[in-house]
Amino acid sequence: MYGNRLLSLTAAFQLIAITAVLCRNIQLMLPNIPDVMHPPIPSEAGISEEDIEYLQSMENIDPEVKPGLFQGDMALNNEYFDYWRVGLRWDVFPEKLWLNRTVPYLISPLYETEHRILIYQAIRTINFMTCIKFVPWTGREQDYLMIWPVKYPSGCWSYVGRFGGPQVVSLQPPDDTGSNCLGTDGRPIHELLHALGIFHEQSRADRDKFVKINIDNIIPQYRSNFDKQSLKNTTYQFEYDYDSVMHYGKNFFSIGKGKQTIVPKYEGATIGQRKMMSKTDCLKLNDLYGCLGKPPNYNYKYYTLCNYMGL
């Protein structure tokens, strides 16, 4: 089973050559990103390499579905599979938190200038609206993000939380099929939030109060992607959010055109926006990283920014 091949990025990079990249007038020695990667998938998800190849070959498929990983775009191994919902439980896996709320990153030189600008915009948005700071990688930090256009699996995908060592966030640039992961700020924000430890909104244990899952419209081998988390790992500090940038779209993993897989139960509600963090996304992220403070010393700066700038 493909999910058992839990090859970490650090181990993989030890097998490949090192290259030099000039960044901000500093020569950085970087691992070469291979054209073909094998991100981890929980074995319980039951996803095979053939399943991934099937999605990779499909046309007009959402770029977050195309990678065929857990829930489409999440690289997650068995060890952490039981502790997800809105964010990783830091009390169980404190090492998954980015240290000092700081995320060193490097953007691939393979991107065109306009694509790099879009990624920078997504990074600046998170930096401004939260106390988390993405900072350019200097070559000295051991743990850092490499934002890269991975060829296989193509599409938009990320590891969840800090895995240690160089860690890929894959953002496929536009091509003749469409804008892929770089049409709006929301796509890179979505994947960067995964890298910070945030999961999909429709995975919440209380989601059946808010959405209906049309199981017969889902590609059979990917029905497990619509499982919800158990209550034992759940504490809700924020209401269910249709506007979340982390919510599935209505046609994710659909068997065909017009076959909706997930439908809001509240009239007029829409799901699957990829424009910007919602107010709740912003508050959720700030809460996970302790940016909001504790009583009586709340930090109202980030409450205000989230409420004024979030969708």
Helices 279-288, 113-129: crossing angle, 10 deg rounding: 70
Q: Is 200 annotated as a binding residue?
A: yes
Q: Which two tokens stand for residue 182?
A: 């770089």
d(CA 266, CA 14): 50
Side-chain-side CA neighbours of residue 293 (13 Å): 9
Q: With contact defined as beta carbons under 8 Å apart, do 209 and 178 qualify?
A: no
Name the active-site residue from 191, 201, 239, 267: 191
Q: Is 194 annotated as a binding residue?
A: yes
Q: Which two tokens stand for residue 266?
A: 């509240």
Within 101-233, where are the H helices? 113-129, 186-196
Residue 207, helix vs strand vs coil: helix
Residue 185, helix vs strand vs coil: coil
Altogether, the residues listed in the chain come to a count of 311
| Planar angle of CA 194, 196, 202, nearest 5 degrees | 40
**Annotation marks residue 112 as catalytic:** no
* Continuous segment of H or E residues that includes residue 55: helix 49-57
Q: Is 247 annotated as a binding residue?
A: no
Annotated binding site for Zn(2+): 190, 194, 200
Active site residues: 191
Annotated binding site: 190, 194, 200
